[in-house]
Every structure is written in C-alpha cells, then in structure tokens.
Chains A and B, each alone.
Chain A
Amino acid sequence: MLSREVELAVLYEIASISKRTRSLNDIVKLTLDKSQRLIGAEVVVFYLIAAAQDALQAHATRGIRLSQVQPSIPLSSLESIVTTTLWNAPQPFPWPIDPLLADYPIKSSLGIPIRDGDTLLAWLYAARINLDSFSPSEVTFYNVLADQVASSLEMMIAREREQEYYANLIAANQQLEQTLAELTSAHQRQEQLIQTINQLSVPILPVGPGVLLLPLIGLVDHQRSEQITSAILEGTMRHRARVIILDLTVIAVMDEQIGQTLLNATRSVRLLGSSVVLTGIQPQMAQTLVHLGVDLSGMITRSTLHEGIAYALSRTSDSRR
C-alpha cells in the first residue's frame, strides 16, 4: 500500500510530463523513465504509430534491447483495445502478439493505449518479472501517464505541423524569389539582345568619300522608323556625308510607315545640306508609295543599288573638284 505522500509525488511527476516535452525524443525518454523509475516496470516497450498508419512499430525500450522485441504490431489487432489492459500469468494473453516474443517469464504486464480521441498514437507495454503484479493504483498511474503522453504527442504533432507549414511557406517564398530573379535576369538579357538587334538592323555603311549606305531590312514600325531617321542624321554628321543611299531592295512590302520614314529622312538630311538617294524601288512599291500619298518629287531615285552608288560617288567627286 502506497503512502499518500508517495502517491502524490508520483502523480505530480507523471502529470508534469507535458510541461517539459519539446521533441519526440523527450517524450519517449520521459515515458520510459517514469514507467521504470516511478512505477516500477522492469521492461518497457514504446510502440509508435508507423508512417503508413497501418502498424505500430517498436520505437524504444528499457530493460530489454530494441532488437529483442516484436518490431511491429498490426494496427488492426490493437484498435479495438481502447483501455489499459492488465494481464497476469497464467491467464491467456489478451493481445494478439506478445511484444517480448513469448520467451520472457513475465508475471504481469500492462498494455496502455495512448490515444487522441479515436486515433491510436502509440502503445506502451510495461512488464514485471520479479516484482508483484501491478496494483490498481499503479494502473491508475499508467492511465495518467498515457493521458500526459497523448497530450505531449498531440502538442508535438501540432508543433510539427506548424513548423512544416512555416517551412513550406519559406520554401514557396524562396521559390518565388528565385523565379523573380530568373525573370529579371531573362528580361535584362532580352533588353540587351534587343539593343544588339536594333544596332544591327540600322547599319550605316560608308561606301565612299562622303557617301553612306543604309540598307533597310525587316519590318519598320514607329520605333524603328525613328531609329532609322536618327541613325541617318547621326551618320551624316559623323561622316560629313554628302549623299545617303537608302536601299529598299530587300523590303518586300511597302507601307505607310516606311513611306513616312523615307520622307522624314529625306527632309532631315536636306536640312543638313546633304541629299538622299533611294535605290531598289520596285514598280509595285512605287505605285504603293504614290497610292499612299508619299510625294517622291523631291527625291532622287535609282533602280539599283549599284546605280545609286555610282550616282552618289559622281556627285561627291563633282563637288570635290
């Protein structure tokens, strides 16, 4: 018969488990320690629900090596046992599987389910070999212990879920930041590429003293039109060009934008005291320009680039004389 003082001390210590458990390791260690030191079980096995949720797996032991106990117990065989079960030799064993593999000369043992509501979280097996059977007080201690362990496991699971949630958030945020960095980098590369293309798409070629050639290539939109005009003016000034040849040989389709570009370029060059020669205008293109209302009257035209260059060189050589 336990003294009231000892009962209180044991109960207090058991009831304090959930105050100080931070990890599964803590919970298991304290459970085994209280089971042995406080409640006098000579052998204790702590079974924990497996990840697949279909079995209990031996997780830790005291008084026996982990390798010497039943490693796994199907969950189905224990689910129906909802309360602590006391067994005394030589009664029939109440559990479908003996955790100590039927070899130990056990006098009495307890199977203590550790539950969260209807869900079995763990199962504690405590056995005595040399000592007397578990008393009703001791069974009560184990029930209190089971409640405490269940609370601790619930808190730990909640903490783990919370940590997992935050870890996922952090991972998603990092992923987002990485994607953003990749997009920024791609955008910068694209900008550089566009700049390079733009430079290549408005090539200004000196073909003789005071003569520049600008072959028009590709589509001409508003932005490119401005680039072309700007390139012509900049090239004229830098090279002190007298004649600028605009070659339209590879322009397949003439539209208003190109027509406008030609007019703007011609007017601007004239203001600098130079002249523009258009080459490579196809008959169909000429019709389109007229149709669009582009006034070609002030423009010098030649049918081929070759003729245009010859004209330009003759103009510049005349002026040098």
Chain B
Amino acid sequence: MAMFASAATSCLDDGYEAGRLVAIQALASLQDVRPGLLVAFITEQYEHTEVVRGIRSVTSSAPLIGSCAGGVIGAEGILKKGVGLLALHGEDLQAKVALEVGLRQNPTQTAERAIEQIEAYLPDPSDPRPGTMLVFSDGLTGGATIDEALHAAYAMSGPLCPIVGAASGDDIHFQKASVFVNDQVVDNGFAVALLRTSAPTGIGVCHGWHPIGPRIVVTHSERNIAYEFNKQPAFEVYHQVLPHLDLTIENFHDKVHFYPLGLPQINGASLVRVPVHANPDGSIEFLADLPENTVAHILEGSRATLLEAAQDAARQAVAALNGRPLVAALIVDCVSRPPLLGNETATEIERIRDVLGHTTPVLGMYSFGELAPNAGVVAFHNKTVVVYAIGQAYP
C-alpha cells in the first residue's frame, strides 16, 4: 500500500518543452510507475494548452489537474515564471477528475455538475479509504462566486471528504486564471480531483494576521460590498483606525494591502477578508462576502508573524499524519503575501520546508484565494497559507 511521490519544475521558455520536461523528470523519480494523479501549476507567461500538451505527451492518460499560478513553488524555490508538476502513486490510490465551465454565471450549478461527475467515487462513511477533494477554481470570477461554489461542493463532498485547493490567478495582473483537467484548459472553470487513499492526509491553515484597533460591526453590507461599519461609511472607519495611512478613496487600494479585515471564528483564528477598493460613496468592496451584523477587526501582520504562520500551517498538516512519514505536500500561498514579505518571501517557503523536510517532494503555487477547512468546514481564505500533506500509508 506504499505511497510514492515526485515533483519537478521547469522554467524553459517553450511551454510544450517545459511540460514535457517536468513530466519526464517526475515520472523518472517515480521509477516509471504509472502516476495515480498529477497536479500541475503553470505561471501566466505560458500558453497553458501547450504546457498541458507537453505533460500529457509523456504521462498519457494519467489524471491531471491544475491551474494558473502567480508563481510556482518547488524544490528550487519560487519561480516567477515556470511550470511545476507533482506526481502521486499509491497501490490503493484512486483519483477521479472533473471539470465544468460557467462558474461566473452559476457557481452553485457549476460546482454541483463537476462533483456529480465523480460522486459515485465519494467515500462511504464506513470506507477505510477516506478522500480529499482538490479544487481549483477560476480566481477572476471573484471571491463571492467561489465561496458560493465551495458551499455547493461541500454539501456534496461533506466532512468525510475535506476540500483543499486554490483560486487560480496570475502575478496580480488579473489577466489569466485558467484551470485544467486532463487535456482541457478553460477559463471560468471549476476543476476537481477526488483523491482516495488509505494513507493519512493532513491540512494546515494559518495566516499570521492579528487584530488591531477596536471591534467593528458590519452594520450594512450586501454580498462583498461593505457600506457601513458602526453605522458610518466603511471607508471612514478604515480611515479612523489607520490615521497614519492618510487614506483617500483614490489611494485606498494601494495602501490597505497590509490591513485586511478579520472575522473572528470559533477556533480563535480570524477569517481574512481583503479590501479591494473604496467607492466614492464610502463603501468598500471586498474580495469575498462580508455578512451583515458580523463583528470584525482590522488586521495587521508583520514579516515575523507571517513567517511563523506559514510554518504553523506546515506543522498542522504534518501533525495530522499521526506520526506517519510525509510523502509529499502541496502548498497554496496567497499571492498578496510576498509584497509584505519582500525579500523574505523565499524565507517563508524555507520555513515551510524546514517542517516538511528539504527532500520531500513539494509543489506549491501563489493563488488568488485559498480553499481549505476552517473549523472543520470549507472556507474561502485570503492572505493565508494552506499546506496539504500526504503521509505514508500504514503497513
């Protein structure tokens, strides 16, 4: 029942060749056994269909899932331009993939149609092989859309099959966010892979942002637009809590990167919500829904707290393996963290790898949003690090 994994990255200019190269490298490390599942991340500079064609020219019919990334995280560090591939093999590993288009227009139905394709393979409560649902969702469709799709997916997958994944995106250019399954590369898509194995898996979620200032009540909001905090225009409250920023409607977008909003959760952590821009009427548009009458805080982070959180996410994931050796890990890191981390961006990945082990096959991406359980239930996260760890199967 042993599990095997390998990861490879390439930054060749030619997309097809880059795809071929990572596939050849990954399969070679797997000693040429057929992979049960392939996960690929590709940065925005490539023609994604060409990269996928390159990968598939080597891996043939092995199930493939992946997305556009704001950067690829691999053994060599962070690639601003590159292709990464993680290959998994296990004797009892079963993977089923599905893809649906139409997320922006109808998030619930699109997610449901995708899950319905693999529903027959969802684990029974008594099944010794629990499942994990990898999800990659077009990040340009917006957080509110993805949030809705996630709830629909979770209603079908349930707590027996946790969801982990990413909102796809580019390096904050907001131009490319394709997702893919096997030979199909699409925009506006919802890609899923059901991973079933008796090997233990673990998910770690952490962000490192901490509340500052007084508590704020979201007194008027609709979906992802906050009109009023504490019965004042939302922008005014941000301005009052952060007077040193000299916020204006015009500079709001550029100056609040490092001051997201946090919604307290029962597990003690805040669910981070990113303000995108302020409107002339004083409302603020956020990346995801902000329920009315929610109590919130403006959050602040430092390089130290963000680095510590990334390491904590890795620790949580590994701890969930119940002492079993780590076989491989996926990292989903928010694309908005590097601007704060600056020249310590690579340190964040190093800290994660310090926990995961520097020889463990690891693949990661920078995302427009992180999908992972929050207090047991899947949630759409922002400015967060998610680590998904796969352990060695029990003998």
Contacts and interface: CB of A to CB of B under 8 A. Distances in A.
A63 B291 contact: no
A104 B126 CA distance: 8
A40 B376 CA distance: 7
Interface in A104-147: 104-105, 128-131, 138
B265 A38 contact: yes
A191 to B, nearest CB: 60
B159 A63 contact: yes
A19 B220 CA distance: 12
B158 interface: yes
Contacts of A42: 158-159, 376-377
Contacts of A37: 265, 271, 374-375, 377, 379
The interface centre, meaning the residue of B151, B264, B266 with most chain A CB atoms within 10 A of its CB, is B266
Interface in B152-177: 154-156, 158-160, 162
Contacts of A10: 264, 266
A179 interface: no
Nearest to B217: A12
Nearest to B159: A42
Given A43-B158, A103-B124, A105-B125, A63 B268 contact: no
Given A12-B293, A13-B295, A129-B159, A138 B266 contact: yes
The interface centre, meaning the residue of B151, B294, B376 with most chain A CB atoms within 10 A of its CB, is B376
A20 B376 contact: no
A79 to B, nearest CB: 29
Contacts of A128: 376
Given A13-B293, A19-B293, A131-B375, A62 B151 contact: yes
Classify chain B: how many residues form its interface, as a range.
20 to 34
Nearest to A60: B155
A43 B159 contact: yes
Given A38-B266, A131-B376, A5 B151 contact: no
Given A3-B268, A5-B264, A130-B376, 9 more contacts: A2-B268, A5-B211, A8-B295, A12-B217, A17-B293, A33-B291, A62-B377, A103-B125, A105-B160
Contacts of B125: 103-105
A63 B124 contact: no
Nearest to A131: B376
Interface string A1-34: 0110110111011001101100000000000010
B295 A40 contact: no
B292 interface: yes
Given A6-B268, A38-B266, A104-B125, A63 B293 contact: no
Given A12-B293, A12-B295, A63 B154 contact: yes
Interface residues of A, number: 35
Contacts of A61: 155
Contact of A63 (B264, B271, B377, B379): B377
A20 to B, nearest CB: 6
A19 B215 CA distance: 20
A103 to B, nearest CB: 5
Given A6-B265, A12-B217, A37-B265, A63 B295 contact: no
A64 B158 CA distance: 5
Interface string A208-230: 00000000000000000000000
A257 interface: no
B267 interface: yes
25 contacts: A5-B264, A6-B265, A6-B266, A8-B295, A9-B215, A9-B264, A10-B264, A10-B266, A12-B295, A13-B294, A19-B293, A20-B292, A20-B293, A33-B291, A37-B265, A40-B266, A42-B377, A103-B125, A103-B126, A105-B125, A128-B376, A129-B376, A130-B159, A130-B162, A131-B376
Contacts of A41: 376-377
A12 B291 CA distance: 13
Given A20-B293, A65-B155, A129-B159, A40 B267 contact: yes
A102 to B, nearest CB: 9
B277 to A, nearest CB: 25
A36 interface: yes
Interface string B88-117: 000000000000000000000000000000
B155 to A, nearest CB: 6
Interface of B: 124-126, 151, 154-156, 158-160, 162, 211, 215, 217, 264-268, 271, 291-295, 374-377, 379
A128 B267 CA distance: 14
Contacts of B211: 5
A65 B153 CA distance: 10
A62 B293 CA distance: 21
A135 B293 CA distance: 24
Nearest to A40: B375
B213 to A, nearest CB: 13
Contacts of B266: 2, 6, 10, 38-40, 138
A6 B158 contact: no
A267 to B, nearest CB: 90
Contacts of B151: 62
Interface string A54-94: 00000001111100000000000000000000000000000
B155 A64 contact: yes
B156 A65 contact: yes
B108 to A, nearest CB: 13
B293 A40 contact: no
A41 B292 CA distance: 21
A160 B232 CA distance: 33
B268 A62 contact: no
A5 B155 contact: no
B266 to A, nearest CB: 5
Nearest to B220: A20
A6 B293 CA distance: 14
Nearest to B271: A37
Given A6-B264, A62-B151, A62-B155, A36 B295 contact: no
A16 B154 CA distance: 26
Contact of A62 (B154, B294, B295): B154
B49 to A, nearest CB: 34
Given A38-B266, A63-B377, A131-B375, A9 B295 contact: yes
Contact of B291 (A13, A19, A130): A13
Contacts of A103: 124-126
Nearest to B375: A40
A137 to B, nearest CB: 9
A104 B161 CA distance: 12
